[in-house]
C-alpha cells in the first residue's frame, strides 16, 4: 500500500509512509552505493536456515491480492553472494545458498523484495546497483539473530572489496495486532490467520522499535521489545536484531545514528521507515 499514494481508497497514513520511503531512498542514493544488501523475512525462505539468493539476476513484481503487479523490478545479483553464504557458514550461522531452476536460473521476486527495490529505482531506473539478498527464518532466538547480523556486517565491511559501497536495507514490519476499521480485503489479513487484536501490546511494541532506532539503546530492543514479540506478532523483528548484531560487531570503528521518518499502522500491522547515518569513529 505504500507504493502508490494516488491509489483510490488508500488507508489513512499510507501516503505519508510513501513520502517517508521516498526520503529514505533519496538518503540511500546520496551515499552513492554500488551494492544493496537487502534482508527480508518474507522472501524465498528456508525453514530453519538463512537463504542467500544466488544466480545472475532476479525479477518479479510487487503483486499482492491481485494488486500492485504493475510495480516490477529486475536486478543483478552480486557475484559475491556465494562467498557471503560461505562466510555465514564459517561463522557458525545456519545458512545456505538458494538457486532457481539451475545454477544460472533467474530467481523470482515478490513484494518483500520489490517494494524497497522499487523505491530505490524510482529515483533513477538506470542505476546499476548489484544486490545481495538474504531471507531469514522466523522464530530464531535473539542470540542467533545477533550472530547472523554480526557475521553479515563483518562480511560487508571486511571481505567485500573496498570499491563496494554498501547500503543495507531491512525489509520488515511491526506489530500485526492492531485493530483496524479498514474494510477493503486487499489491506486485511487472510481470515484463516485468525490474528488476535491487542492494541496495547501493538502500540507498545511499535513505540519500542522507534525508541530503539532513535536512542541506539540495544536494551530497548532486546529487553523491552523482545519479551512481548509473541503477542506483538512482528515477522520483521528478527531483521532488527540482525541489524543490532551488525552494529555491535562494528561498534569500535563505526557509529550508527538512527532517525525515524514515519511510524504508522494504516491497517492491522505497523510499518516504520527509518534511516541510519554511519560514520567512522575517530581514534
pLDDT for 49 equals 92
Contacts of 223 (CB under 8 A, 6+ apart): none
* The total number of structural domains that make up the chain: 1
Task: For residue 193, tell me if it sits in a domain.
Answer: yes
More confident: 137 or 201 = 201
Q: Which residues pair with 166 in a beta bridge?
A: 35
pLDDT for 88 equals 97
Rounded Cα gap, residues 46 and 238, in angstroms = 15
Q: Which residues pair with 37 in a beta bridge?
A: 132, 168
pLDDT for 196 equals 93
Average pLDDT over residues 195-219: 97
Task: For residue 1, tell me if it sits in a domain.
Answer: no
Task: For residue 253, tell me if it sits in a domain.
Answer: yes
What's the number of CA atoms in the CB half-sphere (13 Å) around residue 264?
Answer: 18
Give the end-to-end CA distance of the chain in Å, rounded to a whole number: 45
Rounded Cα gap, residues 36 and 134, in angstroms = 11
| pLDDT tops 70 at residue 91 | yes
Rounded Cα gap, residues 69 and 258, in angstroms = 32
79-84-86-88 Cα dihedral, nearest 10 degrees: -170
Task: For residue 5, tell me if it sits in a domain.
Answer: no
Segments forming the whole domain that contains residue 31:
14-280
Average pLDDT over residues 43-53: 91
Q: What is the CATH number of the domain that holds 204?
A: 3.40.830.10
Task: For residue 98, tell me if it sits in a domain.
Answer: yes
pLDDT for 172 equals 67
Per-residue pLDDT tens digits for 253-268: 999 999 999 999 999 9
Helix (H) or strand (E) holding 169: strand 166-170
Per-residue pLDDT tens digits for 145-189: 999 999 999 999 999 988 899 999 997 699 999 999 999 888 888
Average pLDDT over residues 61-80: 92
Amino acid at each position: 500500500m505504500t507504493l502508490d499514494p494516488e491509489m483510490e481508497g488508500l488507508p489513512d497514513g499510507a501516503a505519508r509512509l510513501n513520502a517517508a520511503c521516498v526520503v529514505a531512498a533519496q538518503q540511500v542514493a546520496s551515499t552513492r552505493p554500488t551494492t544493496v544488501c537487502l534482508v527480508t523475512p518474507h522472501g524465498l525462505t528456508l525453514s530453519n536456515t538463512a537463504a542467500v539468493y544466488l544466480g545472475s539476476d532476479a525479477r518479479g513484481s510487487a503483486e499482492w491480492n491481485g494488486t500492485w503487479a504493475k510495480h516490477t523490478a529486475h536486478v543483478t545479483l552480486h557475484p559475491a553472494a556465494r562467498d557471503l553464504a560461505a562466510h555465514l557458514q564459517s561463522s557458525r550461522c545456519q545458512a545456505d545458498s538458494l538457486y532457481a531452476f539451475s545454477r544460472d536460473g533467474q530467481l523470482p521476486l515478490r513484494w518483500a523484495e520489490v517494494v524497497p527495490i522499487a523505491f530505490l529505482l524510482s529515483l533513477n531506473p538506470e542505476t546499476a546497483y548489484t544486490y545481495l539478498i538474504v531471507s531469514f527464518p522466523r522464530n530464531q532466538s535473539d542470540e542467533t539473530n545477533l550472530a547472523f547480523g554480526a557475521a553479515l556486517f563483518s562480511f560487508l565491511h571486511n571481505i567485500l572489496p573496498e570499491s563496494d559501497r554498501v547500503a543495507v536495507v531491512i525489509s520488515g514490519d511491526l506489530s500485526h495486532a492492531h485493530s483496524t476499521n479498514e474494510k477493503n480485503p486487499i489491506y486485511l489479513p487472510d481470515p484463516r490467520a485468525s490474528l488476535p487484536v491487542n492494541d496495547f501490546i501493538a502500540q507498545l511494541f511499535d513505540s519500542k522499535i522507534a525508541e530503539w532506532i532513535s536512542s541506539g539503546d540495544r536494551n530497548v530492543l532486546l529487553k523491552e521489545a523482545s519479551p512481548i514479540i509473541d503477542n506483538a506478532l512482528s515477522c520483521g523483528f528478527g531483521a532488527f536484531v540482525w541489524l543490532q548484531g551488525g552494529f555491535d560487531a562494528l561498534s569500535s570503528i563505526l557509529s550508527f545514528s538512527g532517525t525515524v521518518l514515519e511510524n504508522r499502522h494504516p491497517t492491522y500491522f505497523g510499518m516504520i521507515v527509518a534511516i541510519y547515518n554511519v560514520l567512522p569513529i575517530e581514534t
